[in-house]
Amino acid sequence: MILSLALLPVALLLFGLPVFVVLLLSSTVALAFFMPIPMTAVHQNLFGSISATGLLAVPYFIFAGELMSRGTVARRLVTFVRGFVGPLPGALGLTTVGTATVFGAISGSSAAAVASVGKVMHPAMRQDGYPDRFSAGMITSVSAIGIVIPPSIPMIVYGASSETSIPRLYAAGVLPGLLLAAMLALYVGWRAWRSGFGSRTAISPGSIAAGTAQALPALMAPVIILGGIYGGVFSPTEAASVACVYAIVVSKFILRELSWRDILDCAVSTVLFSAQILVIVAAAGLFSWLLTVNQVPQAMVAAITAWEITPWQFLIAINIVLLLWGCVMDPMSAILLLVPVLIPLVDALGIDKVHFGIVMTLNLAVGLFTPPFGINIFVAQSALRMRTGDIYRGVVPFFAVFLVALVAITFVPAISLGSMTLFMAVN
């Protein structure tokens, strides 16, 4: 049993097999050779794992993000943000941070932010005297904010896996996401001031008004989604479906940038991406059921209790594990694989599951731009046409900023829980 549930998954991962194959094969071997349980348990748990209502929001938000990430939404957001930060040091860098943050609140996709924002901002920053390595590292890293602030798809998956309220997770992610954006903006501004690169432009009411008017259709998306959820108008799943309808109306009829053929292409991409996520959800559900049946989480809780580990010691250890784990696995797979094991420990130590969800999401966001397998790095390499080694070196200072934010958010629970209290009070 230990062989199939512990050693076999590790061996299969080292051979480079997809995560869902690793989980499914390990679970099947355990059932077939080590447990007196009918094999019908396989398909029962596979289908039962994807029957959670909260998971319906995943394809909806992916579809809405696909629609909003095409066309000129990124360029409109750049114009909007630039109007407010023009006279500050590193104005284009600050614009990149602000645009990536707002774009993440619209699409919930880090990779989409790298491609869309990078194609607009990288040539502009190069022309404005920014070092290529610095601008590439900034675009690659700041786009990871997209999975920390709502609507975040990894938070939906975490909520469904840990039985945690998704509206509470979304509310708890707002202030940490804004804190992270502010810290990145401060670093970019300081670096530009110290190194003397980047120009400034004066603020004029006309430019602000024009930029706001251009970006207003895109800016209304997070307002409608979050306002509807915390105003009690609809659930997160209903908000996701409303976001799809709004994205179609804006893209097709208001901005007139997408044809029906483009919308169909977005739907096809959504189906393919959703299938990739849900097949991992199904396999992880089967694997976590086997862990529970064999009382693995209970044994881990007993060991933690015997060792008298404090919550802070646990969080330090988990941060290290998650940072390393995120380097080799995407956030969705990591959440589905680790949450069933970690949540019993979190409960036993009295750590709030909402706070832990934000900590876990931020850790895995860092993994999006850290080598060797950070997905943002490969997207940036393709979109910006730069060498991988230059991007690796460019993300180093931004990695340090993320770590400082991670320490603050981990050990000051009031940042995330206070954000949750503030925004849930609206409902």
- Evaluate if residue 119 carries a pLDDT over 70: yes
Q: Where are the alpha helices (DSSP H) in 70-202?
A: 73-85, 91-107, 110-127, 132-142, 153-162, 166-195
Q: What is the pLDDT of residue 6?
A: 66
Q: CB neighbours (10 Å) of residue 290?
A: 25
| Per-position DSSP letters for 24-87, written without gaps between them | HHHHHHHHHHH----THHHHHHHHHHT--GGGGHHHHHHHHHHHHHSTTHHHHHHHHHHHHHTT
- Of 53, 4, 3, 22, the closest CA to residue 337 belongs to 22
Least confidently predicted of 15-29, 263-277, 338-352: 15-29
CA dihedral 10, 14, 17, 22 (to 10 degrees): 0
Q: Which of the 8 DSSP states describes residue 363?
A: H
Q: Where are the alpha helices (DSSP H) in 143-295?
A: 153-162, 166-195, 205-230, 236-248, 260-293
Question: 220-275: per-residue pLDDT in tens?
Answer: 888 888 888 888 888 888 988 998 999 899 988 988 889 999 999 999 999 998 88
d(CA 150, CA 133): 29
State the residue for tokens 């709004």. 246
Question: 301-313: per-residue pLDDT in tens?
Answer: 777 777 878 899 9
Q: What is the pLDDT of residue 236?
A: 86
**Residue extents of the structural domains in the chain:** 16-31+39-424
Least confidently predicted of 41-45, 91-95, 267-271: 41-45
Read off the pLDDT of each residue in 79-99 and give the average, rounded to a whole number.
88
Phi, psi (deg, nearest 5) at residue 202 = -75, 150
Residues 116, 385, 129: CA angle, nearest 5 degrees:
80
Counted residue by residue, the chain has a size of 427
Of the CA atoms within 13 Å of residue 142, those in its CB half-sphere come to 31
Q: What is the pLDDT of residue 5?
A: 65
Of the CA atoms within 13 Å of residue 42, those in its CB half-sphere come to 15
Question: 123-135: per-residue pLDDT in tens?
Answer: 989 998 999 999 9
Distances (CA, A) of 33 to 60, 185, 289, 311, 404: 40, 55, 17, 38, 47
The pLDDT confidence band at residue 425, using thresholds 50, 70 and 90, is: low
Cβ–Cβ under 8 Å, residues 1 and 34? yes
Q: Three-state DSSP class for 320?
A: helix
The pLDDT confidence band at residue 33, using thresholds 50, 70 and 90, is: confident
- Evaluate if residue 340 carries a pLDDT over 90: no
Residue type, 211: G
Question: 54-71: per-residue pLDDT in tens?
Answer: 788 889 888 988 888 777
Residues 6 or more apart from 127 whose CB is under 8 A from it? none
Question: 181-223: per-residue pLDDT in tens?
Answer: 999 999 999 999 998 887 777 777 877 888 888 889 888 888 8
Least confidently predicted of 163-172, 191-200, 296-305: 296-305
Q: What is the pLDDT of residue 3?
A: 55
Read off the pLDDT of each residue in 5-21 and give the average, rounded to a whole number.
77
pTM exceeds 0.75, yes or no? yes
Read off the pLDDT of each residue in 393-398 and give the average, rounded to a whole number.
94
Mean pLDDT of the chain: 87
d(CA 98, CA 290): 44
Distances (CA, A) of 325 to 209, 372, 417: 45, 11, 25
